[in-house]
Amino acid sequence: MQKRSETNPMKLDHILDKIYPLPLPSKQLLLQNITEVNYPKGHILLSADKVEHSIFFIKKGIARVYTRTLDHEITILFCKEGDTLVSMKSYVLNQKGYEDVALLEDSELYELKTEKLQKLFAKDISIANWARRFAEKELIKTEERFIARQFRTAKERYQEILRDHPDLIQRVQLSYIASYLGITQVSLSRIRADRS
Amino acid sequence: MQKRSETNPMKLDHILDKIYPLPLPSKQLLLQNITEVNYPKGHILLSADKVEHSIFFIKKGIARVYTRTLDHEITILFCKEGDTLVSMKSYVLNQKGYEDVALLEDSELYELKTEKLQKLFAKDISIANWARRFAEKELIKTEERFIARQFRTAKERYQEILRDHPDLIQRVQLSYIASYLGITQVSLSRIRADRS
DNA sequence: GATTTCTTTTAACAAATGATAAAAAATGAG
DNA sequence: CTCATTTTTTATCATTTGTTAAAAGAAATC
């Protein structure tokens, strides 16, 4: 494989502001509750089997979000520098989620305990609105993924990845890309070979 | 067709509380900004072509949310009594959405102008948290639809509709159900005929 | 650097789904 | 009720995609 292009670590401040700009006092409240953690490739960051208690912001690295049944698994999405990882069902409903999250590279993360965040919701209106905005934007992203998966063929979506996220093809093995596209690895090979 | 079972209208109060219980002053602030509207079957409630300015809560009736391209369209979901209709892209980003919403029956709706709601976010922390909760729960529903559509076959999902939402089959024509399941109407007929 | 392991491609066949068209059934209008 | 329209089912055929297995290619380990 060709030498992987080095990825730039993402500043926490920038990640938080990208979601919704916070006034300084509120931002500092948030920052006080966030710590840095590192995990190696292969680490299971979030598990479908349990109620999770953390939100992670990715400083550096890439993760695969997926669900599984007895016989097979499908990849829901890939998250990388600047993205946020959370089990919504844990975070919102205090229930087990449906997704596992595994790191595909050694990664550096910012961790925020959901309990701490939830306490801030009642106290700080800016943080409540920041989290509102977070959920709203995540919802739009999920809607977009949903529509893309319904509307465009696997071939079209593969070509979109090539065009918009070429680094993904370098950083993620093709069996996961196939699973993300909702097809078998064999079908992806057919697409890549361009024999329709 | 057999006589359609009468559906119960949904109280606004109950719809709002189901999202997230609000303290009375905040709830009254919200209620002040909500009006009742009625539209006939076939009415286009929200359009993908424009930035929309209302959120609707369904008192009575049923709506189809769908997207379309030049050649075909797919049904994203059906919403009925107690459900909420909103173009998230309009509401969150002030941009055109990707979905059209058409009423499948004469319907009674509660309407809330998004501009009014958004003004309340800066003033009332309970309303900010109510809307946070709304987005979070919608996100979980969307994730669930996404996973259902990937994991289970159209046949299984049709049988789930039969089991969990039998009224849908009565109230919605099968071509829309097929489109919701992501298959052609011909395939749905095959499933219904049970010839695998 | 050779060997083992994991990943990707290729091939052959089977099964599922879509496209098209026509028939049947249900619905709505006069 | 009858006719026109819409919706649903059925049939046929072509295409796509999955399954299985084997080969080729890369990467990791010793």
Domain extent listing, chain A: 12-123
A135: which chain B residues are within 8 Å (Cβ-Cβ)? 132, 135-136, 139
CA distances from A21 to A60, A104, A133 (A): 22, 30, 10
> Residue B102 and residue B115: Cα distance in Å, rounded?
23
How far: B186 CA to D13 C1' (Å)?
14
Q: What percent of chain A has pLDDT over 70?
A: 96
CB B192 within 8 A of CB B185: no
Question: Which whole number is the average pLDDT over A160-185?
Answer: 94
Answer yes or no: are the C-beta atoms of A79 and A62 closer than 8 Å: yes
Q: Which residues pair with B57 in a beta bridge?
A: B84, B110
Helix or strand or coil: residue B104?
coil
Rounded Cα distance between A179 and A72, Å, is 10
Contacts of A28 (CB under 8 A, 6+ apart): none
Q: What are the distances in angstroms from CA A148 to CA A17, A182, B155?
A: 27, 11, 22
- Residue A195: which residues within 8 A CB-CB, separation 6 or more? none
Helix (H, G, I), strand (E, B) or coil at A45: strand
Task: Write down which residues 124-153 in B have CB closer than 7 A to strand C.
Answer: 153
Task: State the residue for tokens 């379309």.
Answer: B68
Q: Is A143 on the interface with B (CB under 8 A)?
A: yes
* DSSP annotation of A153: -
CB A101 within 8 A of CB A65: yes
**For the CA atoms of B35, B118, B102, B41, what is the dihedral angle to 10 degrees?**
0
pTM of the complete model beyond 0.95? no
Q: What is the nearest nucleotide to B194, using C1' and CA? A: D9
Residue at the smallest CA–C1' distance to nucleotide C18? B184
Question: What is d(CA A29, CA B117) in angstroms, rounded to the nearest whole number?
Answer: 26
- Put simply, whether B113 touches A (Cβ < 8 Å) is no
What is the rounded CA–CA span in Å between residue B47 and residue B67?
A: 10
For the segment A69-74, the average pLDDT, to the nearest whole number, is 81
Q: Is B66:B100 a contact under the CB 8 Å cutoff? A: yes
pLDDT tens digits for A124-153? 999 999 999 999 999 999 999 998 888 888
Q: How far is the CA of A161 from the C1' of C5 (A)?
A: 29
Question: Which of A130, A142, A147 to mutate to probe the B interface, most B CBs <10 Å?
Answer: A142
CB contact under 8 A, A133 and B93: no
C-alpha pair distances (Å), A6 with each of A2, A60, A81, A162? 12, 10, 12, 18
Binned at pLDDT 50, 70 and 90, residue A196 comes out as very low
CB contact under 8 A, B92 and A128: no
Classify domain A12-123 at the CATH topology level.
Answer: Jelly Rolls (2.60.120)
pLDDT in tens, chain B (196 residues): 333 445 789 999 999 999 999 999 999 999 999 999 999 999 999 999 999 999 999 999 999 999 987 778 889 999 999 999 999 999 999 999 999 999 999 999 999 999 999 999 999 999 999 999 999 999 999 999 998 888 888 899 999 999 999 999 999 999 999 999 999 999 999 999 874 3
What pLDDT, on the 0 to 100 scale, is given for residue A2?
Answer: 33
Q: What is the DSSP code (8-state) at residue B97? A: -
